[in-house]
Structure 1
Amino acid sequence: MRVEQKIFKVKHLEYIIRSANGDDAKQLSQLRLQIDGETENLDREQGEAYIDELEFVNIIKNDTESISSLFLIAEVNGVIVGFSRCAGNKLKRTAHKVEFGVCVLKAYWGFSIGKNLLIESIHWADSSDIKKINLSVLETNAKALKLYEKYGFEVEGVLKKDKLLSDGQYYDTILMGKFCG
């Protein structure tokens, strides 16, 4: 699915949130690799589950053609600095819900990019046939937990000692959901 682009100005930074297109694939591949090396809030370490340009072209094409998926990017002066996906599926029993995920370059934290990607995704879900958005967040990511709760997500479960981080400790993954429409 595609949505209309929007311009945001937060502090001194102006950025666009828009639907991804095939021309974004190369930047997205490089961006994802960089972000994976900047934070432990995601499932992957840098280089794991690498998605190359061609794979991103296919993901974007499939998400654009699907009424139950949305791939958004955040762009500053023509450079992609973050992205989010609402990944749907075609199984009848679960076609009413999507899985939300978001990534933003560390240099752009604090400009509400993740928040605005989330808000645009919720708006899209509320105006479509999507009935529920699911996501998972590491227990140590207090800022994200607070943001998700602010926008109506509720804790639905906890995966105990689910992630092993660089400090050698295991941490819980919090499963959250929000009903839409």
Structure 2
Amino acid sequence: MIIENKKIEDKNLTWILRCPTKFDAEELSKLRVKIDGETENLDREPGENLLTQEDFEKIILEDAEAERSVFLLAEAEGKIVGFTRLAGNNLKRFRHKSEFGICILKEYWGYGIGRVLLENVLMCADSSGIEKISLTVVETNTKAIQLYKKYGFAEEGLLIKDRIHKDGNYYNTVIMGRISGK
């Protein structure tokens, strides 16, 4: 799915919301590794489950052609500062739902980028007939959990001792879902 570019002016930052092109693939690959190293909120350590430039090129092409997937990025000050991906499922039993996640450079937290990415993902999901969106979030990421709840997500479960962070402690993962009004 492709959306039109949007200029966003919010919280003293002007940025562009757009779908990526194959020319963004290299920057996205590097950005993902950097973001993974900035926070414990994501599932990966830097360099784990690496997506190469070629991997991103394939994902960008597939998502552009897919009816129930969308890949959006935030571009500020001439660089990509965050992205989100709503990934549809092609299995017949799960075609009604998609999964998504958001990644934003730490220096751009607090500018409302996550909120705008989420709002646009939800618009795309609703317009394409997706009935359920699922996500997981580490239990200590309370700001994200509050944001998701504000937009209709409910806690569906808790995975106990699901992950180990650099501090050696175990953390729980919250499973959340949003069901459309259909």
User: What residue in structure 2 maps to residue 137 of structure 1?
Assistant: 137
User: What residue in structure 2 maps to residue 117 of structure 1?
Assistant: 117
List runs of 5+ in structure 2 lacking aligned partners.
none
User: Residues 81 and 104 of structure 2 are in contact (CA less than 8 Å); yes or no, is this contact kept in structure 1?
Assistant: yes
Q: So what's the TM-score if we normalise by structure 2?
A: 0.97
Q: 1 CA distance for matches of 2:121 and 2:180?
A: 11
Secondary structure of 1:71's aligned partner: strand
Q: Which amino acid aligns with 1:124?
A: C
Runs of 4+ in 1 over 2 A off after TM superposition: none
The sequence identity of aligned pairs, in percent, is 53
Deviation at 1:77, TM superposition (A): 3.2
Secondary structure of 1:37's aligned partner: helix
User: Residues 132 and 178 of structure 2 are in contact (CA less than 8 Å); yes or no, is this contact kept in structure 1?
Assistant: yes
What does the per-residue CA deviation read over 1:101-138, in whole Å, with 9 as the maximum and x for residues that have no partner? 11000000000111110000001111112111110000
Q: Which amino acid aligns with 1:74?
A: A
Q: 1 CA distance for matches of 2:179 and 2:29?
A: 31
What does the per-residue CA deviation read over 1:17-51, in whole Å, with 9 as the maximum and x for residues that have no partner? 11111111011001001000000000000111111
List runs of 5+ in structure 1 lacking aligned partners.
none
User: Residues 11 and 112 of structure 2 are in contact (CA less than 8 Å); yes or no, is this contact kept in structure 1?
Assistant: no
Q: 2 CA distance for matches of 1:2 and 1:132?
A: 20
User: What residue in structure 1 maps to residue 30 of structure 2?
Assistant: 30
Secondary structure of 2:92's aligned partner: coil
Q: Does residue 148 of the first structure (1) align with residue 148 of the second (2)?
A: yes
User: Residues 20 and 73 of structure 2 are in contact (CA less than 8 Å); yes or no, is this contact kept in structure 1?
Assistant: yes
Q: 2 CA distance for matches of 1:165 and 1:23?
A: 34
Q: So what's the TM-score if we normalise by structure 1?
A: 0.97
User: What residue in structure 2 maps to residue 87 of structure 1?
Assistant: 87
User: Residues 71 and 84 of structure 2 are in contact (CA less than 8 Å); yes or no, is this contact kept in structure 1?
Assistant: yes
User: Residues 16 and 76 of structure 2 are in contact (CA less than 8 Å); yes or no, is this contact kept in structure 1?
Assistant: yes
Q: CA RMSD in A?
A: 0.9
Secondary structure of 1:152's aligned partner: coil
Q: Which amino acid aligns with 2:134?
A: N
User: Residues 122 and 180 of structure 1 are in contact (CA less than 8 Å); yes or no, is this contact kept in structure 2?
Assistant: no
Moved more, 146-155 or 1-10: 1-10
Deviation at 1:11, TM superposition (A): 2.0
Secondary structure of 1:31's aligned partner: helix
User: Residues 163 and 172 of structure 2 are in contact (CA less than 8 Å); yes or no, is this contact kept in structure 1?
Assistant: yes
How many correspondences in the alignment?
181
Q: Which amino acid aligns with 2:125?
A: A
What does the per-residue CA deviation read over 1:51-103, in whole Å, with 9 as the maximum and x for residues that have no partner? 11011000111111110110000001331000000011211110111101110
